[in-house]
Structure 1
Amino acid sequence: MGIPPCSRPASANTTRGREPGHCSHSGQSQRGPSHSGESRIMCGIAGIVGFTGKIDIGSRIKEMTDAVHHRGPDGEGFYRNGRVAFGHRRLAVVDLSPGGHQPMTSADGRHVVTYNGEIYNFVELRRELEALGHRFRSHSDTEVLLAAYAAWGPDCLTRMNGMWSFALHDTDRDLIFAARDRFGEKPFHYVRTDDCFAFGSEIRQLLPLLGTVAANPAVVSEYLLAGVPLQSAETFFSGVLNLAAGHYLIHDLKSDRCTIHRYYDLAGRLSGVGERDGPEAVDEFRRVFEDSIRLRLRSDVRVGTCLSGGLDSSSVSLLAARLNGAGSGAPFSAITAISEDPANSEEAYAEEVVRAGGLNWVRTRPDYEDFRDTLPAVIRQQEEPFTSPSVCMQSFVMRAARENGIVVLLDGQGADEILLGYDRYYCAYGLAVWRQQGAREALRWQRQMVRNNVNMTSLRFAALAVRDLSPALRYLHYLGRSRHLSPRPPMPDWVRQYARACLDLRSLQTLEVENTGLPPLLRFEDKNAMAHSIETRLPFLDHRLVEHSIALASALKMRDGWSKWVVRRSMMDVLPENIAWRRNKIGFAAPDAMWLSRHAGVMERMVEASPLVGRFCDRNRVREGYRRLDRAGQWRLYCLALWEEQFGVS
């Protein structure tokens, strides 16, 4: 369904250049044809369409492309056709041969693409396209993308299994076709000004086009109130927009109008699909999960995995190690960031997984000084404020990967959303049990939940239920902890949406995947990884696995008080018993209490001096009550102030 178009002012010049396009490339070439016959790269993309002739397109695209050198240190390329220009930075993970250079032009010269991503099923798509008469000059998935668009137009997106963000110049139809993958693993930011339409992998590429770097009041206000950066077309920067996951954009060069269309609707995909239950459903989960990992292991550079010691990362690590072992004599590598606070360190769990899989274990132990010294860089690489110092722990993992020559990392992101892994889902599940099986069974399940999850008590369960099912009470809770905010922010729309979704587990999971849960985590992951020239691949977000998992009977996701039961059951032949049936959940948690207590003075001084904080807060209340705020509230104010400083936000 199309969203109403956004168009530039009618008075702007619409003269179009029509001289032939041309591409230029530079970069090192090492490595011959890969053993798999593939040429795949991750990268940073850039593009600009001039409207008025006031912008030097050639120099601007070079600057935009140079700004994301870290995303692709192995080479660069440019394309220019009249007032359209593309740029590309490449990070090679399979075969750095000239056949994969971008921007890439189709053999007939009709289509040119700058592309960031991986099409994991491109081998199968290539065979299908060859049967239709297409001929290929390289082994690149980029060329398959060009041919797929030529054959199927926008419908090519529904045939692809992978992650992507790209823009394609269709010279026949005189338009730019841009798209983002189903769940938003790869970013696509864009701006529209009086002088141009421009896009890029990162916000920093676009800020010079805006003149003034200003905060988006609605996004900042909601962040300070609720601390939840949602999936949205908006960013923290006024004037910078996101192309939403599962959408594509068409910029018509004849009229310079943009329209945005949705091509992937998770709820629609699940509509009419019955619950999948029984041993066959468990076996199918394992089959698809294993196939997803197999596809994501294809690489001619070292592949490793993020390992926290939790259920998800351990499952990915050990299954990947088993699959990788068939074609490699070297042990599979796992990277763990170890908290210096014993209360949330998972080192012992990770060590057990390492022993079980014979893994090569890379450990990083960041301390307060590491956190203090790295934090400004993490703010710059994230580009927007974030929720807690745990994002820094993830950055330390990516740095350790690069220092140890590991260019591709698998990660367990997405499992909690598709398999009911977070404590906040217990309320919705308990309500479903009560409605379907009665109060007695609901009470029995609640006792099992408390027994099999050390983080849950009956009192905490009740508190979560009140918060999640009552939008008004959740909003009052937010206001109560945020009396320093001025003016008082309105209730976020998602609060009501979340309460309604709790009445139906599928609706809740869909909301979490598309809006309230997963999107910020994917943003953190991409920005942290690419800042260190690392590609991350997420097996749990194979769309086949997402759809199968959400369609599973709820009793296969939560059973006898165990969350993510289907993972525990299906991976019993792989996971150590202590990991498969862990009763606590931590993740790559930072030692927040230790770090922030030592950083308290720095934080308070920066918050007090911040003009931006003063714009959204009553300064007297902040000054008098800052130390009484909880750590999360203090962090949000400090992170906003640090973001303001690093990006010169007005």
Structure 2
Amino acid sequence: MCGIAGYLAKRPYPFQLAEAVQCLHHRGPDQNGVWERDGTGLGHARLSIIDLSDAGRQPMSSPDGRYVLVFNGEIYNFRELRRDLEAAGEAFRSHSDTEVLLRLYQREGAQCLEKLRGMFAFAIWDIAERTLFLARDRLGVKPLVYTENDAGFLFASEIPALFALQPDLPRTPDYSALDHYLTFQYIPAPLTGFAALKKLPPAHAMIVRDGKIEHLWRYWDIDHSRRSRLSFDDACDALREKFLEAAKLRLVSDVPLGAFLSGGIDSSITVAAMAHLGVENIKTFAIGFEEQKFNELPYARQIAEHLGTDHHEMVVKPDAIAILPQLVRHFGEPMADNSAIPTYYVSKMARERVTVVLNGDGGDESFLGYTRYLSCKAIDQYDKIPPNISGPLRRMISISPEFLNRFRLPRHARAMAIRLLERRSRRYEPTIAYFSDAAKQPLYGPALKEFLEHSALDRLDDYLDGAPNMVAGAAWADIHTYLPDDLMVKVDIASMAHSLEARSPFLDHKLMEWAATIPAHQRFTGKEPKSLLKKAMEPHLPHDLMYRPKMGFGVPIDVWLRGEMKEFAYDTLLSGSAKTRDLFDLEHVEFLLDSHQKGENRAYPIWALLMLELWYKMWIDSRDPFSDPTAKRIIAQAPSSQTNVM
């Protein structure tokens, strides 16, 4: 795992490549490398995981000197690929997956992507053709951001490194991206918070020539049209085998390895798989809260005791404001997923003992674990009602939404039912939108008003409308949006801030391709989310822990915003600088703050607004948003989080 940066100049320009690499030092503290020649530069900050010797150093050149590579990530099947290449006559100088990737590209060009099984973002400069080839892994585990302007083409692992590479890059905000952010809590690719910068989407590659993007294309997608004919029991057996294979691939490391253990089903299954595969004395790491409805530490302890792990845990207190400066700086764009806070803390704790961790990310999307999918199932049942019955029901709902009060529907299902006359993306809105289209109406100021004419939800239509049912469509949309643009960004930034590599067996693309062939009714049986996954892994974990209700990796933001963070939220969101932006009607912002204090839970939208304003101050205004007296006092008085070891 590493950080990469580079440029391809259109004209003479003093790109600051060494500074960009230094900006990525947290991603790769072991070695820095820079290669520059004839208007092209490649930089690398190395976190040594495989082959710790200098033979794995980057930038790495091919034996004939034609190709130069910088690479961030891991190729899990590199040993298999190396054997194939050796059989074809290649002789290797190192034991690294980096060299395998370079030699494979040298032989097969862009077609090499089809053979890679891993997480990656890389760039290869072809000296002979004077072209730059860049690619990002299928699920977007590893990031890659770029910009093209009159000086040339620039790329990096993180947004801050781009500004270090070219300090005069314009910092104009992308208002369309901010509208998407306020809908989803994250900014979906290819957008970023800045109009001049873009993200390379997952499963995409590009060729750059003469400082310009010549070709950009998607090289992979999950085929949702294929259907398995396996019985439920046979699917369980196949899943168990495939998951263990994916986990085994991710155990290859030349440095200490452990696991996140939240107490939830996915991380528990991951640790159980590690134990089954023979990993001894597994170091596990868990985060909890004083507020018991958010605290999964007791469950994590039970799993740790059952599997005999070397368990470590931390209780996170409202001193979280103390790490907000680091989060705002590292993300480089607005990000409102508050689980970044515990992810940051657990990564810091883990890095004190290991360099690599396995986690459970991806299990909910492939095996239908989110509670919102239950609401989708309810809508799917409605869609099966014959038109002669559903027609009058639709008319009743359109005339009087209160008609639904007669039925005992889950809250999200009721909100979806009100939208039965609309497209699936509008039905899904109540479960995913921080600010619905309706909620934006009184909030948006002059700078954002134009975006009220259309909906950010439109980007979900292709996924939802093209699926056989609402459940499958929601999962498909999540795999293409929420998973790479929220979860993967959060985990990458929070873990790499501490030079920690995170790997997830659930994100193995072969496992996900297979899971997509299993009908939704097998993956989510009745009212039991992840029924197939749970049944498959029953031999490895206690039944009561497998089938307890899902809690999620939440944070008690609602409590904190009524307590220690209340004054900070008011002062930040109603500050003089906030008034000058024309983004929001501040009277409505104050209404949201006041109503939260009176008992309504407005925590998520307030948090989204707060993180946006902090980003604006740091990245647009270029000033420290935590220098205000209130912020300084709260940080100074914040109680420290507590670490325990079992």
Both proteins in one fold, TM over 0.5: yes
Mapping 1:72-151, distance limit 5 Å = 72-151=28-107
Aligned residues of 2:69 and 2:124 also touching (Cα < 8 A): yes
Partners of 1:221 and 1:616 within 8 A in 2: no
Structure-2 separation of matches of 1:352 and 1:592: 26
3-state DSSP of counterpart to 1:281: helix
Contact 2:170 2:196 in 1 (8 A): no
Q: Is the 8 A contact 1:164 1:180 kept in 2?
A: yes
Aligned: 1:368 with 2:318: yes
1:460 to 382, 407, 411: 411
User: Per the alignment, do residues 467 and 567 of structure 1 end up closer, same or farther by CA in structure 2, a change over 3 Å counting?
Assistant: farther
Could you tell me how far 1:466 is from its partner in structure 2? 2.7
Q: Among residues 428, 431, 449, which one is paired with 2:376 in the alignment?
A: 428
1:306 aligns with 2:306: no
CA contact (8 A) 1:180 1:186 kept: yes
Looking at structure 1, the residues matched to 592 and 234 of structure 2 have their Cα atoms a distance apart, in angstroms, of: 56
Give, in whole Å, the separation in 2 of the partners of 1:499 and 1:71. 36
Task: Report the counterpart of residue 583 of structure 2 in structure 1.
Answer: 616
Counterpart Cα distance in 2 of 1:285 and 1:485: 47
Which residue number in structure 1 is paired with residue 180 of structure 2? 222
Match of 1:184 among 140, 157, 165: 140
Aligned partners of 1:337 and 1:588 also within 8 Å: no
One-letter amino acid matched to 1:351: R
Structure 2 residue ranges without an equivalent (≥5): 388-407, 597-601, 623-646
Counterpart of 1:20 in structure 2 is none
Matched residue type, 1:178:
L
Shift of 1:502: 6.5
Written as runs of structure 1 = structure 2, the 5 A alignment for 1:494-643 is: 494=459, 496-497=461-462, 500=465, 504=469, 505-582=471-548, 584-598=549-563, 599-609=565-575, 611=577, 614-628=581-595, 630-643=602-615
Q: Structure 1 CA distance, aligned partners of 2:220 and 2:200?
A: 13
Structure 1 residues 578 and 274: alpha-carbon distance in aligned structure 2, compared to 1, 3 A threshold: closer
SS at 2:58 equivalent: coil
Question: Does 2:273 correspond to 1:319?
Answer: yes
Matching residue within 181, 193, 203 for 1:236: 193
**What count of residue pairs does the alignment treat as equivalent?**
580
Q: 1:279 aligns with which of 233, 237, 240?
A: 233
SS at match of 2:48: strand
Q: Hey, what does 1:454 align to over in structure 2? A: none
1-structure distance, mates of 2:605, 2:560:
15
For 1:426 and 1:126, the matched residues in 2 are separated by 45
- Alignment partner, residue 250 of structure 2: 296
**Matched AA of 1:595:** W
Mean CA deviation greater in 373-382 or 156-165: 373-382
1:126-180 CA-to-partner distances (Å, cap 9, x unmatched) read 1111222222111111111111112211110011100000000112222000000
Code of the residue aligned with 1:615 in structure 2: it is D
Q: Give the match's secondary structure for 2:47.
A: strand
What residue number does 1:22 align with?
none
Q: Which segment is superposed worse, 555-564 or 176-185?
A: 555-564
Structure 1 residue 190, shift from structure 2 partner = 0.4
Change in CA separation of 1:270 and 1:389 when aligned onto 2, cut-off 3 Å: closer
Structure-2 residue corresponding to 1:446: none
SS at match of 2:134: strand
User: Residue type matched to 2:198 in 1?
Assistant: L
Question: What one-letter code is carried by the residue in structure 2 that aligns with 1:531?
Answer: A
Contact 2:121 / 2:137 at 8 angstroms: preserved in 1?
yes
SS in 1 for 2:259: strand
SS of equivalent to 2:217: strand
Matches within 5 A, 1:138-217: 138-208=94-164, 209=166, 210-217=168-175
Alpha-carbon distance in structure 2 between the residues aligned to 1:468 and 1:144:
52
- Per-residue Cα deviation, 1:248-276 (whole angstroms, up to 9, x for no partner): 010023x744321110122xx34344454
Contact 2:204 2:216 in 1 (8 A): yes
CA distance in 1, matches of 2:418, 2:328: 31
Q: Distance in 2 between matches of 1:376 and 1:646?
A: 9
Structure 2 vs 1, CA of residues 213 and 132 (structure 1 numbering), >3 Å: closer, same or farther? same
- Corresponding position: 1:378 with 2:313: no
* Counterpart-to-counterpart distance in 2, 1:437 and 1:135: 64
Matched, 1:52 2:11: yes
Q: Distance in 2 between matches of 1:603 and 1:311?
A: 34
Cα deviation per residue 1:562-605 (whole Å; 9 max; x = unaligned)? 110111101111111111111x2123321222222221111111
Q: CA deviation at 1:494?
A: 2.8
Partner deviation per Cα, 1:248-306 (whole Å, 9 max, x = no partner): 010023x744321110122xx34344454432222111111001111111112211111
- Give the corresponding residue for 1:64: 20
Shift in Å, 1:649 = 4.1
Separation in 2, partners of 1:533, 1:309 = 24
Deviation at 1:223, TM superposition (A): 2.0
Rounded to whole Å, the distance in 2 between the matches of 1:648 and 1:612 is 12
- Structure 1 residues 134, 612: closer, same or farther in 2, change over 3 A? farther
Residue 556 of structure 2 aligns to which amino acid in structure 1? P
Per-residue CA deviation, residues 337-376 of structure 1 (Å, 9 max, x unaligned), is 111101221111111101110011110112112x121122
What residue identity is the alignment partner of 1:299?
Answer: S
Q: Give the corresponding residue for 1:29.
A: none
3-state SS, counterpart of residue 563 of structure 1: coil
Identity of aligned residues (%): 31
SS at match of 1:168: strand
Which whole-Å CA distance do the structure 1 matches of 2:381 and 2:237 have between them?
A: 24
After TM superposition, the score normalised by the length of structure 2 is: 0.85
In 2, distance between residues paired with 1:459 and 1:257? 48
- Gap regions ≥5 residues in structure 1: 1-41, 440-456
Q: Which residue of 2 aligns with 1:9?
A: none
Q: Distance in 2 between matches of 1:507 and 1:119?
A: 30
The amino acid across from 2:243 in the alignment is: F
Which whole-Å CA distance do the structure 1 matches of 2:102 and 2:413 have between them? 53
Does 2:436 correspond to 1:478?
Answer: yes
Matched AA of 1:411:
N
- CA drift of 1:462 comes to 2.6
2:605 partner letter: G
Give the 3 Å change call, closer, same or farther, for CA 433–125 of structure 1 in structure 2.
farther
Report what 1:647 is aligned to. 619
Give the 3 Å change call, closer, same or farther, for CA 146–576 of structure 1 in structure 2.
Answer: same
Q: Distance in 1 between matches of 2:64 and 2:338?
A: 50
Deviation at 1:201, TM superposition (A): 0.3
CA contact (8 A) 2:464 2:476 kept: no
Paired residue type of 1:486: G
In the alignment, does 2:299 pair up with 1:334? no
Is the deviation greater in 519-528 or in 592-601? 592-601
Q: CA deviation at 1:437?
A: 9.7
| Secondary structure of residue in 1 paired with 2:46 | strand
Partner SS state of residue 250, structure 1: strand
